[in-house]
């Protein structure tokens, strides 16, 4: 009864013949030829098969059940497209020496790069198995059990079983490439004091501390909720804002789903947002990160300090592109309502021509009245290459004319933005992160905000 409960809990165990059993069956096949020479010669063949069956059944029963195994997984943080290691700690709680092969059942978003090796595991011992996976899609993935095939060395039968080992893997946006690491290394070596002190007029708005109210102080600074709890008046001490505030808004509409190389435009934008958040954290700036389609999909409020990166990564790990038209009218207004300070308002999107960008232009112009706006678009390397190529045939001439026309329409749309006081940045996918960080540092150094 306990064995049945174990198989129900851990999954049904299967009997699997070994290669040695198949060899023995093949070697015993000539025994059936005795039936041609003697009438009762077939009895020898049957007896041989019965012996093999008895030995195989004995081997199977000697193999421990699933409850004799314990599996634990250990892994770090996974980034899209970057190989990572998963370590499996396998424990044999039985007293037998076992030959064990393992198989991991991974979801479709994780690609296994290296196989799991076969091991000989002594009784009451533990071994480490490591294999590499490569995430091909962001998101949250659940791993269930590990499939084991266990048998005694030299045995005729193995037992295939499933040992439960639930685990959750979260795949985050790509952190950085080699070139981006070099850029961050140079940024880290720069002196933080090179930036000119910023002149601030009026009272600060950042909360610093609480103190007891004294007659003559501004009643507008009284925190009435805390005063009610303590039974006497408490005021909020404010300080001048330290650093700048950045808002990165990423378009997650259908145009951002188009792939450039291995990844979509949306993935390149997420990678740039993550790295910009890291640099802003090092600079002491506050940053807000949001994604949108026809609505706001995710929003991280303005955050400063060590909590920036964890919050940004968690927020961006599960967002996906939606096959809908982006609603700039609704989204820009909602994001602006959540920004209480003047900010560097960065919008990463895609525009095809002036007509398609009319809604974006109108709303970014509205945002430019309160914020410094930077519109970032990704160029298509293949279109740029065709537009700059030297055609050799009539077909290539037509392709070049079409590509040049598309580039011209986009440039006209970007020129209209610049005429409205909106900063623009057009970058190739592989250089988006570096160019966006450089533009941010230039704006910060020049105190344009």
Q: What is the pLDDT of residues 361-399, one digit of tens each?
A: 888 998 888 999 999 998 887 887 788 888 888 988 888
pLDDT tens-place string over residues 93-110: 999 999 999 999 899 889
The residue to which tokens 């055609």 are assigned: 391
Q: What's the pLDDT score for residue 201?
A: 43
Structure token digits, residue 250: 């990423």
Q: What 8-state DSSP symbol labels residue 219?
A: G
Short-list 5, 1, 12, CA closest to 162: 12
- Other beta carbons within 10 angstroms of residue 35's beta carbon come to 14
Q: How confident is the model at residue 5 (pLDDT cuts 50, 70, 90)?
A: very low
How do strand 372-378 and strand 423-427 relate by DSSP bridges? Answer: parallel
Q: In the predicted model, is pLDDT for residue 191 greater than 50?
A: no
Structure token digits, residue 333: 């207004």
HSE at residue 277, side-chain half, CA atoms within 13 A, is 34
E strand or H helix at 443 = helix 432-446
Short-list 296, 417, 429, CA closest to 360: 417
pLDDT tens-place string over residues 347-369: 999 887 666 678 888 889 988 88
Helix and strand numbers, DSSP H then E, in the chain? 13, 20
Structure token digits, residue 330: 């609704």
């Amino acid at each position: 009864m306990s064995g049945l409960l174990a198989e129900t809990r851990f999954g049904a165990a299967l009997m699997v013949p070994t290669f040695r059993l198949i060899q023995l069956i093949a070697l015993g096949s000539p025994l059936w030829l005795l039936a041609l020479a003697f009438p009762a010669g077939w009895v020898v063949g049957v007896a041989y098969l019965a012996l093999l069956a008895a030995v195989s059944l004995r081997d199977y029963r000697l193999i421990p059940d699933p409850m004799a195994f314990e599996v634990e997984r250990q892994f770090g943080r996974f980034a899209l497209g970057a190989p990572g290691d998963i370590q499996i700690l396998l424990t044999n709680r039985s007293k037998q020496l076992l030959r064990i092969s393992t198989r991991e059942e991974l979801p479709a978003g994780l690609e296994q790069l290296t196989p799991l090796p076969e091991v000989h595991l002594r009784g009451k011992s533990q071994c480490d198995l490591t294999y590499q996976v490569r995430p091909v899609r962001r998101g949250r993935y659940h791993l269930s059990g590990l499939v084991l095939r266990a048998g005694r060395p030299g045995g005729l039968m193995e037992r295939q079983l499933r040992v439960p080992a639930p685990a959750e893997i979260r795949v985050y946006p790509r952190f950085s490439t080699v070139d981006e690491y070099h850029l961050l290394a140079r940024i880290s070596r720069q002196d933080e004091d090179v930036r000119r002190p910023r002149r601030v007029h009026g009272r600060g708005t950042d909360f610093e501390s609480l103190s007891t109210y004294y007659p003559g102080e501004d009643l507008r600074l009284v925190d009435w909720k805390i005063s009610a709890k303590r039974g006497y008046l408490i005021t909020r001490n404010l300080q001048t804002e330290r650093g700048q505030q950045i808002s990165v808004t990423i378009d997650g509409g259908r145009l951002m789903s188009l792939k450039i190389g291995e990844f979509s435009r949306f993935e390149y934008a997420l990678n740039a947002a993550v790295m910009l958040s890291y640099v802003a954290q090092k600079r002491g700036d506050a940053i807000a990160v949001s994604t949108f389609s026809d609505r706001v999909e995710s929003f991280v409020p303005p955050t400063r300090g060590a909590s920036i990166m964890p919050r940004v990564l968690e927020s961006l790990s599960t967002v996906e592109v939606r096959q809908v038209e982006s609603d700039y009218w609704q989204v820009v207004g909602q994001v602006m309502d959540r920004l209480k300070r003047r900010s560097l308002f960065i919008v990463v999107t895609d525009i095809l021509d002036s007509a398609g960008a009319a809604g974006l232009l109108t709303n970014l112009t509205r945002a430019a009245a309160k914020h410094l706006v930077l519109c970032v678009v990704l160029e298509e390397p293949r279109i740029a290459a065709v537009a700059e190529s030297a055609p050799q045939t009539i077909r290539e001439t037509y392709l070049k004319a079409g590509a040049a026309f598309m580039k011209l329409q986009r440039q006209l749309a970007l020129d209209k933005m610049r005429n409205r006081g909106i900063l623009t940045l057009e970058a190739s996918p592989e250089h988006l992160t570096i160019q966006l960080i450089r533009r941010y540092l230039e704006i910060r150094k020049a105190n344009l905000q």
